[in-house]
Chains A and B, each alone.
Chain A
Amino acid sequence: MRMKKYRQFLKLYLWITAVMALPLLINLLFITNAHEHTAFREIVKIQHTKDAIYGTALNQNTFAYKIELVRFVKPKIIALGSSRVLELREEFFNAPFVNCGGAMNNLEEGKVFLMELFRHHKPEVLILGLDFWWFSNLFNQRATFDYHRNTGADLTLDKLIKPYDFLISSKISPRDYLQILLLKNDKNHITNYNNLGLTAIKRSDGFRKDGSYLYASTISGFAPEGQRIIGFNDRLDPKRRFEFGTDLSRNSLDTLTELLKICINHNVVPIIFIPPVSTVAYKRIVSRPEKYGYVLRFQEYVGSLSYETYDFHDIRKAESTDCECIDGFHIGDVAYQKILLKILKQNPDSVLSKYVNTGLIGRMALEHTGKVMTVFEADQDKFYYREADFLKLGCQKN
């Protein structure tokens, strides 16, 4: 009798667990269809087969994703830095290239990234973008990176619940949800790209197959305005990206030395540059030497390094303008083409000279001047909208 009761309990328990798991299983199907439950290794393969954009809303681990990208492409040139270097694109170069921007959110992470990267592949050239705030003595340089463990295919409760959260907060509509769940839809109204990951499916915002970033919704004028005007506001945010500082951080300088030593030990040539901020942000930094005095010292320090170094902190040095900025501290690919051309003009013997598609980027930079993004010939049919004056600076985008 007692055993019967336990047998019934066991059945009941299994039924109840199954019923409780059902809504989560539906979301599992949803995130699987959206490629939010796909390993980065697989994502990279699909991207290269379908020329797809990868914009994830649930797997924030650019570090691991970029490692997989390098392992797949085996590039001769890589760009490394924060999201600020993300607009260097493979079309600019005549050798295999991967943009590892976003994998290095501080110098320590950059060091860890290179050590991991060189275990798998050694490129010939490393273009290293340094953010000035990493060198402030008030910048908190984290040394632990728990999110590196995320493989893209990890299944967590948070991940299984999140789609409902997105529905409630209207980040995705019930129609979007059902289309992905039932029809595996990966298209949107902004571009004609194949899209992997919810952010990409919704807006085509995400990484291209070379690791560079497509800001499709921003450029088309569909992104929320608030996000894009950082650096064009009245004030700069000293807690995020525009950190104040009283001096250079000794610890950061040491980490940079170690990082460069790792490159040299692996016969990888580092080319160091300081990415630009918008003219507006630049002028605000210069006008507050009591808060940003370390920036000038940082520029001097970079200039004194015994490597190829370039300082484009002031965007005007690249003959670019605020119209070619995505926001106050991210510049578009047109500005990056101008930077490369400037480097080669300044230093014709640069290591980069044999890798840059000078002719193509010279033509494209001219054709697209005043814009953020270059539409190369192969991508002509991908975009449904022209570039908008999303910063509302009165830029001519035609």
Chain B
Amino acid sequence: MLFNSYIFIFLFLPATLIVYFLLNNRRLTLASKTWLVFASLFFYGWWNPIYVPLILGSILFNYAIGVTLSGAKNFQSKFILISGIAGNLGLLAYFKYMDFFITNINYLTGGHIRLLQITLPLGISFFTFTQIAYLVDAYRRLAKEYSFLNYFLFVTFFPHLLAGPIIHHQEMMPQFDRLKNKLLNHRNLVHGLLLFFIGLFKKVVIADTLAVWADQGFDHAAVLNLVEAWTVSLSYSLQLYFDFSGYTDMALGSSLMFNIRLPINFNSPYRSSSIQEFWRRWHMTLGRFVRDYVYIPLGGNRVPEMRIIINLFVTFFIIGLWHGAGWTFVCWGLMHGVAIVVQRIWGKLHITLPRFLAWILTFSFVNFSWIFFRARNFDDAVKVVKGMFGINGLGGTEQIPNAFRSLKRFQLALKHWLGNIDGDGQTLTFIIVCLILSIYFRNSNYMEERFSPNWKNACILGALSLYAMLNLQKASQFIYFNF
């Protein structure tokens, strides 16, 4: 089920909330948790019930491994942990990477092994990573809660199930059991609504508008001129941010209505003035996961310099591959790996760039790297890159003298310049406004923290929610559902 659908907003969410708090009010806490688990499975199965047994199997397997780990002796536990992780990665490999693997084998050997063409189960990357983290925590004796229902709820809790944030066992379990969290909290309800509708607005009003130009440019246009290529790349960079951070806001908001606070995932990443800072602000829970469960176990910063560099590459290779089964994703991950290494070496030179210049460099790099992330293949990526370097022309130089005579003429010229991507006179204005919003405006977490219940905010929230809900019709999927 999509957060940005009428069925979720008007039926699923209110019904789940009402029944959950009614059961808690009658002190039926076990029933309320069970209800939340069933509601979450219903939410998951709405898209395709065929994958419900898959998530159930994954939960049972990991729970069994977790419990075994808790009672195992040191020498046994390492083996159990490795088996558990291998089981999870095997599941992920089969459903997500098998066709990629076969394609590469066919390419290298000239063979014709048939592709399995398996539909990627929703959220598999997220629930697999969440559970790997749980197993490692159990191995480290950090996961102390072993109630099956609690574990079930921890994995399936619908706000984070499909596209994160990636959560930790120890940050969720105490919240599920805290007594005061079982009562309807009007403050959390209001703050949750605020976050939810900010997220919905980001998704349906901003991201879906930008998607038109990005999709047209990447998937349909045969060539792109300079203006079009920059419009396409910026549209996608902004679409991805508003889409994914919008989703996260909705996840955090709906979870908060149940008095459960999920970890934040975005902190105005496009303000970053270095790649390292970018990764501290972008998809923060994934960054935390790879730091804690990949980079540090590989040795972290406490190994020789060359090893650190290799570890960084391995980490970003995994990040790239996690996002999708394709070489374009690997390329994107490695680009970030290179950037981090360059930044590390630069840091040792003790030369500080002016902040604005550092920001320009960082944003340009991130924007450029998203091209490889978005493109279906390298040809599409090269098409956009060529356009950005003006190889296919500037986009109507013959119109330039006339274009600046009046605003109307300029808008007409823009329509002509952006013809291949369905752009018009408003496109660039929209992109500039979105860029300003993503860089200079307070982000949703800040707004939520400092929210005060007054007339003005009631009007703003009313207008925001109404406008967002009226734009729901398109009901497009979130980009991160594909990962």
Contact = CB atoms under 8 A, between A and B. Distances in A.
Interface residues of A, number: 25
A227 interface: no
Given A17-B465, A17-B466, A21-B466, A9 B454 contact: yes
B462 A13 contact: yes
Interface in A143-170: 143-144, 146, 149, 154-157, 160
A305 interface: no
B473 A20 contact: no
Interface in A204-223: none
Interface stretch (B109-117, B182-190, B229-237, B370-378): B182-190
Contact of A6 (B190, B419, B465, B466): B190
Contacts of B458: 9, 12-13, 16
A312 B461 CA distance: 61
B413 to A, nearest CB: 15
A296 interface: no
Contact of B190 (A10, A17, A156): A10
A96 B462 CA distance: 52
Interface string B448-483: 000001110111011101110011011000000000
A16 B453 CA distance: 13
B220 interface: yes
Contacts of A146: 212
B459 A16 contact: yes
Given A144-B220, A157-B467, A9 B462 contact: no
Contacts of A3: 185-187
Given A10-B190, A17-B465, A157 B455 contact: no
A388 interface: no
The contact size tier of chain B is: 20 to 34
Given A16-B458, A16-B462, A144-B216, A6 B470 contact: no
A8 interface: yes
Contacts of A10: 186, 189-190
Contacts of B187: 2-3, 6
B195 to A, nearest CB: 14
Nearest to A146: B212
A12 B189 CA distance: 14
B189 A154 contact: no
Contacts of B453: 5-6, 8-9
Nearest to A7: B186
Q: Closest 9 A-B residue pairs measured CB to CB? A: A9-B453, A6-B186, A157-B470, A16-B462, A17-B462, A12-B458, A13-B458, A6-B187, A154-B473
14 contacts: A3-B186, A3-B187, A5-B453, A6-B186, A6-B189, A6-B190, A9-B190, A9-B457, A13-B190, A13-B193, A13-B458, A20-B466, A24-B466, A154-B473
Given A3-B186, A7-B186, 14 more contacts: A6-B187, A9-B454, A13-B190, A16-B459, A16-B462, A17-B466, A24-B466, A24-B470, A140-B419, A144-B216, A155-B473, A157-B470, A157-B471, A160-B470
